[in-house]
Amino acid sequence: MRCIRRGLSDCLRVPQNHKSNLVTSSKRASLTSQIDGSQRRRVVLITHANPQDNTIARWLAARLSTAGYKVWVDLRSLAGGNDFWSVIEHQLRDHAVKQIVLVSSHIRKPGVLKELALGDYVGKQLGDPDFMIPVRVTDVPHGEFPPELLRRNSFDAFPNWASVLSPLLETLKDAGVDRTEDSAGRLLSEFIDAQETGRLSVRDQPEALLTNWFPLIPERAKMRFFKVEGTTEQAAHWIESTRIPFIEHSGLIVTCPPETGPFEAGKF
């Protein structure tokens, strides 16, 4: 038995083996608190060179937001007069669940390097080796990536920005990043899935082309233009009953003449 002091003089006696249970409960409460804290991280933070890469950062933020993710990017999230670095630091340390890094020739700007250093630290604190997600947006050799990104798998958004959406959304989904489910997000996901399915089904091989564009026979390379006279009902009847191919152009009927002799286009 062990005496646990309750006040100035009295104590509560409990079996000695309950000590381990009390410690375990304390650890469990601490673990629950950590889990709750990690669940509050819902922000997908986009790190990029401002203003050089603002255009693609804005484009990507819009797509991820439409897909239901909570996105933070400094070009639209900072109000005038804010200490921009303290705001970015707060988002990275306390709210970011993933950090997408847009890699371009401007990746070594001082502000970007500070975000990379902090993101590398936050990822280690969270125990998430995939916290930082590099996305190459210009023709930058992988060997020239900053040290924090060299050993990480990167996605290519160069030269086609849209090609990065499918693998990026799949990565966020597999990582369990929270998102708001709505019709716009489902529509975007379905569109990207259909686009990816179509891309994978393309084969580099010849196929028959079905078209209504045909070359003209040299001997019949003349066109005839007819003006239809009569009532509107008569013209409509002729169009429905004629036996020759034609098109309507500027109020006229356009067709090719027969190889020989006169022809009957139809009757009113």
Which pLDDT does position 34 carry in this prediction? 41
Residue 119 and residue 101 in contact, taking contact as beta carbons nearer than 8 Å: yes
The beta strand positions in the chain, using DSSP E, are 2-5, 11-14, 43-47, 70-73, 96-103, 132-136, 155-156, 224-226, 247-249, 252-255
How is residue 114 annotated by DSSP? H
Q: How confident is the model at residue 136 (pLDDT cuts 50, 70, 90)?
A: very high
pLDDT, one tens digit per residue, over 192-247 is: 666 656 655 667 788 888 887 777 777 666 778 888 777 888 888 877 887 778 88
Residue 116 and residue 103 in contact, taking contact as beta carbons nearer than 8 Å: no
Q: How confident is the model at residue 137 (pLDDT cuts 50, 70, 90)?
A: very high
Residue 85 and residue 74 in contact, taking contact as beta carbons nearer than 8 Å: no
Which pLDDT does position 78 carry in this prediction? 54
Three-point CA angle 83, 89, 90, nearest 5°: 90
pLDDT, one tens digit per residue, over 62-90 is: 899 888 999 999 875 555 556 788 989 99
